Structure 1
Amino acid sequence: MPNVPTPHNGAKDGEIAKTVLMPGDPLRAKYIAEKYLKNAVCFNTVRNMLGFTGTYQGRPVSVMGGGMGMPSVGIYTYELFNFYGVDNIIRVGSAGGIADGVHVKDVVAAVGACTDSNYAAQYRLPGTFAPTADYGLLSRAVENAKKLGISAKVGNVLSSDAFYSDQEDALKLWRKMGVLAVEMEAAALYMNAARAGKHALCLLTISDCPFTGESLSAAERETGFTKMMELALSLA
């Protein structure tokens, strides 16, 4: 492939699988590789955004961190789709649960990603683009969740540019619209996939609930999301 390695990814052509699992935290990528992949080889250490390729149940799979926020995940997923020939990216991230009935450790599959970001402005569209998951990946995730005994909640999430928002009522307004959870990357992932003609899905584990005060520790966020990881790996 042209343009590889890149300033952000040290992998050479052929070192990344067609399906990539992408947590935000590179240490979670390392954990997934060590726990689930056979013969995992590290293909990237640039900026400590660790990436690994191995096999899962005989199938090639890569896992790579994507960082925090849409600018970061936008760079890594763009390069994976357009420079490295990746076909599928499955985000395996954390989110804050905002809907009633959503609690810590719940798994959420994002049908769509509402956003307060201006990321779509680059496409100069004559309207508003609705970032959505690949239906094939989403439908398989729902079916596989049932087989694995995972109760996955399916619905809209919010991809926000602001972790610390100055608008105190923002999440309450999104909750009124049925949004299940808030995170910071899915919308950019879905837009990059749409533009490249590729496939993407965002799976999330609820790490905290702003309205109830429920919260997991940093260590639990790094290594405790095994249900989501196993569901994502079942799609590879």
Structure 2
Amino acid sequence: MTVHIGAEKGEIAETVLLPGDPYRAKWAAETFLKDVRLVNEVRGMLGFTGTWNGHSVTIQGSGMGMPSLSIYVNELISTYGAQTLIRIGSCGGMQPHVDIRDVIIAMTASTITSPSSGILREINYAPCADWSLLRAAVAAAEAKGTTTHVGGIYSSDVFYAERPDLDEQMVRHGILGVEMEAAELYTLAARHNRRALAVLTVSDHLQTGEALPSDQRERSFGEMVEIALEAAFA
């Protein structure tokens, strides 16, 4: 057990999917895994372990933002031995050709600052996905016929941003979408020699103002979860 995860050793799988929302973790576990059991409910941040095609999988909520994700990923790696960590979540589209419900597979994740900034100091470190996971996720998405975009995303440290000039530069430099966690996930995975990837569903769009109604979000996120699972065990 750790401060934030109440599971016993052996109850967390080496492969962990990380939605931000704990109730999305519950939905994904009950929808895609077999023999599901609750392994964490500390602070309401739900975690479940079950099996997918015979493979042990944990789906653990990580909260919103890089500081929250950093807590869970550090504990999952250091105490429970997680080897493969895949963020599954929503993002905002930034490019005109990226539509609502499309899937973004993040090759890189730019950010202004993250919890790791204090360690990296003056280095503009470039967090990137694990190549084997990235390649497998793209293959899985193509096999499903999912409209998918592969490239860079932006991990913001604020939700209510007031920097239209920054958004403009992100679009100008080809950033596909914005979310709040992947840059720290990729950095921690690199630090500890683990595999990491972010597979994201576009739930709203910064340019068009479109957004998925809340009742449609879960139904639209199924392909993202399947892609993540297939990539993890390719």
User: Does the pair score TM above 0.5?
Assistant: yes
Q: How many Å apart are 1:112 and its aligned residue?
A: 0.2
Instruction: Give the count of matched residue pairs.
Output: 232
After TM superposition, the structure 1 = structure 2 runs for residues 213-228 of structure 1, keeping only pairs within 5 Å, are: 213-228=209-224
C-alpha distance in 2 between matches for 1:226 and 1:169: 34
Determine if contact 1:160/1:182 at 8 Å carries over to the other structure: yes
User: Which structure 1 segments of 5+ residues have no match?
Assistant: none
- SS in structure 1 at match of 2:226: helix
Residue in 2 that maps onto 1:229: 225
After TM superposition, the structure 1 = structure 2 runs for residues 1-236 of structure 1, keeping only pairs within 5 Å, are: 5-124=1-120, 127-236=123-232
- SS in structure 1 at match of 2:91: strand
Q: How many Å apart are 1:125 and its aligned residue?
A: 5.2
Determine if contact 1:25/1:222 at 8 Å carries over to the other structure: no
- SS in structure 2 at match of 1:100: coil
User: Which structure 2 segments of 5+ residues have no match?
Assistant: none
Q: How big is each residue's C-alpha offset from its partner over 1:168-224, in whole Å with a ceiling of 9 and x where there is no partner? A: 322111110100000000001001101111010000000000210110122323443
Q: 1:124 to 1:153 in 2, by over 3 A?
A: closer
Q: How many Å apart are 1:78 and its aligned residue?
A: 1.0
C-alpha distance in 1 between matches for 2:204 and 2:84: 28
Q: How many Å apart are 1:81 and its aligned residue?
A: 1.3
C-alpha distance in 2 between matches for 1:95 and 1:138: 18
Determine if contact 1:120/1:129 at 8 Å carries over to the other structure: no
C-alpha distance in 2 between matches for 1:58 and 1:124: 39
Q: 1:172 to 1:37 in 2, by over 3 A?
A: same
Normalization by structure 1: what TM-score? 0.95
- SS in structure 2 at match of 1:175: helix
- Amino acid aligned to 1:151: T
- SS in structure 1 at match of 2:59: strand
Q: 1:120 to 1:208 in 2, by over 3 A?
A: same
Q: How many Å apart are 1:126 and its aligned residue?
A: 5.3
Determine if contact 2:67/2:114 at 8 Å carries over to the other structure: no
- SS in structure 2 at match of 1:119: coil
Q: How big is each residue's C-alpha offset from its partner over 1:42-70, in whole Å with a ceiling of 9 and x where there is no partner? A: 00001111100000111111101111000
Deviates more, 1:6-15 or 1:144-153: 144-153
Normalization by structure 2: what TM-score? 0.95
C-alpha distance in 2 between matches for 1:51 and 1:108: 24
Q: How big is each residue's C-alpha offset from its partner over 1:87-122, in whole Å with a ceiling of 9 and x where there is no partner? A: 001100100000120011000000000101143323
Give the aligned CA root-mean-square deviation in angstroms.
1.2
